[in-house]
Structure 1
Amino acid sequence: MIRLLGLGAKKKARPQRPRLQLDMSDLIVYAMGDVHGCLDALLALERRIADDAVALPGRKLLVMLGDYVDRGPASAQVLDHLVAPPPPGFHRICLAGNHEVAMLDYLEGRIDLRSWLLMGAGPTLLSYGIDHDRLRQMHGNRRSIDNAVRDAIPAEHVAFLRTLPVLVESQRYVFVHAGIRPGVPMREQDENDLVLIRAPFFDNADRLTRYVVHGHTPVKQAGREGMRVNLDSGAYFSGQLTALRIWRDTGRYLTN
C-alpha cells in the first residue's frame, strides 16, 4: 500500500482538507459508494435516486464517498459530471477518497507517476486521451512525460480535487471514505486514516458511537455491520454501484 504522505521539504505541502458539520433534521441523505470511473453506473444510480426522492418531502443531499477516478474507463467524464451542478432538487457534497488524494499528489509533485499508476491510473490517463506507453516512446525523460500528463488535466478538475472535504459528520452519522479510528475524538482523526484505514477500523467497530457510512473496501454486497455501513460494492469490476438513503433515521439501499 502507498502511504499518502508528502516526500520532503522541497515538495509542495498537502493542505489540510475541510471537515464539515451537517444538520440532518428535515434532510434526506443519499450516500453513494466508490464510482471509480464508472460513469454509466453513476448516471443510472442518480436516475434511481431521483425517482426515489420524488415523493419524499424535505431537502435532498447527495454525499459522494470518494474514489471517483482510477481503474474504471471514464474517470475524466466522472469528474466532468461532478464539477457540474447536481441533479435538480439536490445538493451534493463530494468527499475525498485516497485515489483523489493520490491524483492530486501526483499533479502537485508529491508522488511520481509510477506510484499513481500502481493505484490504477492507466485508465484515468486514457480517459483524458493520454496513452502512457506512447508517451514513454515519444519522450525520453520523466519531466517531459509529467508535463504532458499535467497539461492534459483541466484546471477545473484540479481545483475540484483540491477543495474536496475529507469528512462530514452529524449528531448520529459520520460520512467518510475509508473509516475512522474508533476511540479517537473526531477533531483528532488523522487525515490519512480517513482515506486509507481498514483493519483498525474494522477490528474495533464495536467501539463506534455513531453510524459510520464509508466505502474504500470492496464487498460483494453493501450493507451494515453494527454501526459500520460499507457502500463500496466494487463498481469497476462488479458493475454495481450502491447508495444508501437515510431518512428519519431509517436506511434503504439503492443500486444502479
Structure 2
Amino acid sequence: MPLQATAPDGMRIYAIGDIHGRADLLDRLARKIDADLASRPCPKATTVFVGDYVDRGVDSRGVLERLSLDDFPTPIAPLRGNHEEAMLRFLDDAPALPQWVMFGGLMTLASYGVDPGEEMRRGGAPAVQAAFLARFPDAHRRFLEETKYSVEFGDYFFCHAGVRPHVPLDRQDPGDLMWIRYEFLEYRGDFGKIVVHGHTPHTKVESLENRINLDTHAFRSGVLTAVALEGAERRFLDTAH
C-alpha cells in the first residue's frame, strides 16, 4: 500500500457513493461539486460513480436520466453496482424479477410508471418485464450496459463493493467487484492501491488506510457523500451540510 497515496498530477477525482434513486440528493451534490470547482479551479477533473443508482429511493428514473445525459459538472466514469446487475438481468430474463424485487426493484418500476401488482395479475413476471421495457428509454439501458466494473487513477482503485484480498487488482472477478463484503471489509492489509467503494452502508464515511467507503445510506439518511482526491489530499463533500 502506498505510504502516501496520490491522484495523478494535475487531476482532481471526485467519487460519489450509492445514490439509490435519490435524484434530489444527486442534484444537491452536483451543485456542491460545481461550487467546489468554482472555489478551487482544476482544469482536469472527473467524477467516478461507484454504482447503485437505482432501487429503494423514489426516483431511479431521474437518476438514470441525468447520468445518461452526462449532465454533471465534470466528465463522469460510471461503475456498475449489484443493483444495476440485478436490473440488467431482469431486462433479459423475466424470471429474475423476484431477486430484483428483493433488492428494492419495486421502487424503480414505480418510478417508470409500472404497476407490478397489476402486471403480475395480467401475466406474471413476463408482463411486468414487457411493461417495463415499453417505458424504459434506450438511453437508460445503454448507460447501464456501458458501466464498467472498475477504474483506476493514480494510487486509487474504484469499484462498487470491494476486491478479494491477495488477488491482483487486474485479475479481480466482476462478481467480487459488485458483491463482496466481509472478506474485503475485514482485511487490514495492502490491496496494492487504496480501494474506493460503496455497497456496505455506514452512518459516516470510512476513511481508512487501505480503503474509503462512500456509502452513507443516502436513500434513508438523506446524506449522499463524495470524496475529492487531489495530490495527496482527501476531502469530503456531502448533502448534510
Measured in 2, the distance between the counterparts of 1:154 and 1:57 equals: 34
Partner SS state of residue 90, structure 2: helix
Partner of 1:95: 79
Measured in 2, the distance between the counterparts of 1:140 and 1:210 equals: 49
**Residue 95 of structure 2 contacts residue 125 of structure 2 at CA under 8 Å; is this kept in 1?**
no
Measured in 1, the distance between the counterparts of 2:63 and 2:95 equals: 23
Query: Normalising to structure 1: TM-score of the pair?
Result: 0.86
Q: Deviations over 1:132-183 (max 9, x none)?
A: 112223x044323322222221111111111101101133110110011121
**Residue 105 of structure 1 contacts residue 111 of structure 1 at CA under 8 Å; is this kept in 2?**
no
Aligned partner letter, 1:217: T
Measured in 1, the distance between the counterparts of 2:43 and 2:185 equals: 33
Query: Normalising to structure 2: TM-score of the pair?
Result: 0.92
Structure 2 residue runs of 5 or longer lacking an equivalent are: 1-6
Structure 1 residue runs of 5 or longer lacking an equivalent are: 1-22
Partner SS state of residue 56, structure 1: coil
Partner of 1:145: 128
- Are 1:172 and 2:155 matched, yes or no? yes
RMSD: 1.5
Decide whether aligned partners of structure 1 residues 206 and 126 sit closer, same or farther in structure 2, where only a CA change above 3 A counts: same
Give me the identity figure in percent.
37
Partner of 2:237: 254
Q: Among 220, 223, 229, which residue is 1:240 paired with?
A: 223
Aligned partner letter, 2:64: L
Measured in 1, the distance between the counterparts of 2:42 and 2:130 equals: 49
* Segments of 4+ moved more than 4 angstroms: none
Partner of 1:107: 91
**Residue 176 of structure 1 contacts residue 213 of structure 1 at CA under 8 Å; is this kept in 2?**
yes
Q: Among 171, 175, 188, which residue is 1:188 paired with?
A: 171
Partner SS state of residue 114, structure 1: helix
Measured in 2, the distance between the counterparts of 1:110 and 1:169 equals: 34
Partner of 1:81: 66
Count of paired positions: 232
